[in-house]
Amino acid sequence: MIETYYNKNLVFSDPLLACRNIGETNIHSKNSKIPQVYPQFKFYKRAKFLSVSRLYECFISLRPFFIILLLSFSFKVNSKDLYITTSDLNIRSGPAKFYKSLGIIKKGDTVIVLETTNAIWVKISYDGNVGYSSSLYLEKIYITNESSSPENNYTLITIFLVIGLFICIIILIRSVKSHRNKSIVYIEKYKPRSNKSKITTKPSDNLIIDITGESHKINIDIDNPKLIKYKGGVPYWKKQYIYYYTEINGATREQIKFYNLFRDNFFKGKYYDLEGNDNYAFILYFDLLNEYNKHRDLKKLERQFQVLSECYPKTEKYTISSLIQQMNVIGDIEGITRLRDQQRLKYQSSLSNNIKYDYVDTDYYPDDYKLGHKYKDKLGLNKQETAWLNKFWNPSNVFISMEGCCVATIMQYIQVLKGLNIILKDNNTSIAKEVEFFKERIIEIKGMTDSYWDYYDKRYLKSHVESDIYLTIFKRVENSVREVFGHKRKVGEFPYYEYNDEFEKRIGLKVNKIVSELKNNIGVPDISTQIELNAQNVNRWREEFTALKESFEKENINIFIDGITLLEEANQKNPNIENIFYEASKFIAKYNKVQALKYYSKYIHYDLISKKIDNKQLSKTIQKSLFNSDEQINEFKRIIEELIKSNNIEIAIDNISKLYIPKRKKIFLDKSKIQDVEQKYKGTVELLNEYLKSEEEKEAASQIENLEKDEIEIFFNTNEESKSIFVSELNITNLQEQLIQRIAENAFVIHQDEVERFALQNGMLKNQLIDSINEICFELLDGEALIEEDEENYIIEESYYNEILNK
């Protein structure tokens, strides 16, 4: 390599290095290849004086000395603005990493900080250049001054000048001696390829970029880390949405192994080219967030996110969003403003440079979480309908998480908004205009001004108001869908409290009217939605079962049977499915004995596979109506015993179908002989018939008497026995039952500290245990909490306690 330095349009080089590079020893040989290899070089006679390049190099060597000398003179040895770099650092034209780099400041160089732009970026002066650099890699220089008097300062300056002149003389003498026999290479009117920067190389240095005639060494750019190829090839990971760090659990062993290597090297400053496998980057994004929750060092997280977003740009929107969220938590308004300014400047810069910067067009963006983008193609939504659904973040609750419920709510929401726009149009307004009114209203309520500091707060509040209004309408529609779908629990549906009354007058009442009118358009949930709803609300089936009983007709018993079959299908995930068949068996017993026993056998089947075995027996009255003899009872018991052993409900139902068929032995008789005997013993036969008839009547009467005395009991041979004193439908655990009993035995009051100790002893948190009990009892108590807080105590209303008892 040729050691070369550029200065405007002149380049000076050491020809000895040029010769050495191409393997020549005589630089003046007629057959020299240098003119062929380097056609731009023109050689002149050997110079006997100092090489111009060495003079320039002397100046470069002494440059830091002169800078410190001038600083000492200008600032009178005041070090408050002097900093030293802790790493090779970019100097940029603006206070953000996307601004043009003016050069590289070497590690250990000294810079002057002119002003602090924000928490990260500072305006600096370095080698006559003024630009911006990250303050994270600058360390302040502290110099102790014993005296600040002008006499001391001038004395110090004089000493520096004398030392500097002495060093200059020594370097010049050495240069003259060592370069007396070297030549000068002159390149006339040489123009680099680019006028913006002139690039040269040194044999032992990295790339050098010349800015306005001066040279700076380039090392690794910390603001633009270099990606390295993974030798083994990055394991392919099909692109998917990554919502949590735990999604790494769904990766293969090979993918997990690579991720661990990728993560470890990231912390060491080595960054792999993921070759389009962005899932790894997003897992690391959530991993860094989890780590932050432990160390709580926001500056550290910001530096990590800065590198992550630079290496893997698709994560940038998320890193900035998360940083703003965390800054908002600690009240770092300055940090939030800085990040938003950077984004705004980057966007403006992209426009001026004709660079595309639009997150909506990327493969992975925040609006993926919103309902409009999620269901745009699936439901064939137009631009306006999509926009209405993207006004707010996807509501996270159990009901909306079921796709059938979510789709029904979306379609109803769109129809309600269309109807609302029609009504508002008659009043010369629209939804958009009403939203704009409330945006200005909140600014008025908050008393905000047009000052610089209120700018972002106003923008945030306006965005919040818009989201709040559309979400309120969505929630009111959701509650109407919940009601039609038989889901009793409802969500809050009131908007921002500071303009609640105005909202109801201008929008709310109109929305309520439209929601009520369109309720009949909602329809019935499909079977998959029914299954999910019944899993969440274990007693939801009762409403449909009640309707089947009320519409029952003996002549059309198959309608009831088909209805129970549909209930069974829709309650496959319901932990209390057995209760459907127990109630069905009791109801149908007086109309169809076989069907009643089939339902009861299904009750036993589902009860055996449930978490809690109830082993409910049929009442004495129902048993009397179902069995006519001990033989039938014993046969049914045998069928149930086989069911318990084999768990084969189909065989049990088939055997029950044959239970009432009379069992007769086939007897072959000779009619002619019977007639002869009958004539011979006519008197005897009549006497025998009378006797047998009397015995049959006595036996039948005896069996009926036994049925009246005894109740049929069917016991399951299981390891678990139900001893709960509470309603079986609740499925209350032993731990929950113990706490309820402890409160009831203490006059229905208990101190919160005692509950906390009890919960911790059993591996739970106090609130977790209380909430689990209230959630279980929610439906049975019509939406009321069983256990409530009363200052420092927990209390139970005695009437509520009596309602959950198994009476």
- What is the rounded distance in angstroms from the CA atom of residue 126 to the CA atom of residue 440? 48
Q: Which pLDDT value is given to residue 398?
A: 85
d(CA 571, CA 563): 12
For residue 187, what is the enclosing H or E element? strand 185-187
Q: How many CB atoms neighbour CB 538 within 10 A? A: 20
Least Cα distance to 143 among 212, 88, 77 occurs for: 77
Q: Edge-to-edge, what's the strand order for the sheet holding 101-105?
A: 101-105, 89-92, 129-134, 121-126, 110-116, 82-85, 138-140
Ranges in the chain, pLDDT < 70: 1-80, 98, 118-119, 142-157, 160, 171-225, 331, 347-348, 350-369, 449-457, 495-497, 663-723, 807
Q: What is the pLDDT of residue 143?
A: 53
Task: Look at strands 129-134 and 121-126 and give their pairing.
Answer: antiparallel
How do beta strands 42-43 and 129-134 pair? unpaired
Please tell me the predicted confidence (pLDDT) of residue 707. 47
Residue 81: both structure tokens together: 């603005």
Cα separation, 226 vs 151, whole angstroms: 52
β partners of residue 199: 209
pLDDT digits (tens, 9 = 90+) for 164-199: 777 777 766 665 555 444 433 333 333 333 333 333
d(CA 781, CA 805): 12
- 8 Å CB contact between 772 and 782: no
* Three-state SS sequence of 427-480: CCCCHHHHHHHHHHHHHHHHCCCCCHHHHHHHHHHHHHHHHHHHHHHHHHHHHH
**Which H or E run contains 186?**
strand 185-187
What is residue 556's DSSP assignment? Answer: G
Question: Quick one: which of 607, 615, 644, 619 has its CA closest to 722?
Answer: 615
Tell me the per-residue pLDDT of 336-391, one tens digit each, with 9 for 90 and over.
Answer: 878 877 777 776 676 666 665 543 333 334 456 688 888 988 999 998 999 899 88
pLDDT at 115: 84
pLDDT in the model for residue 673: 62
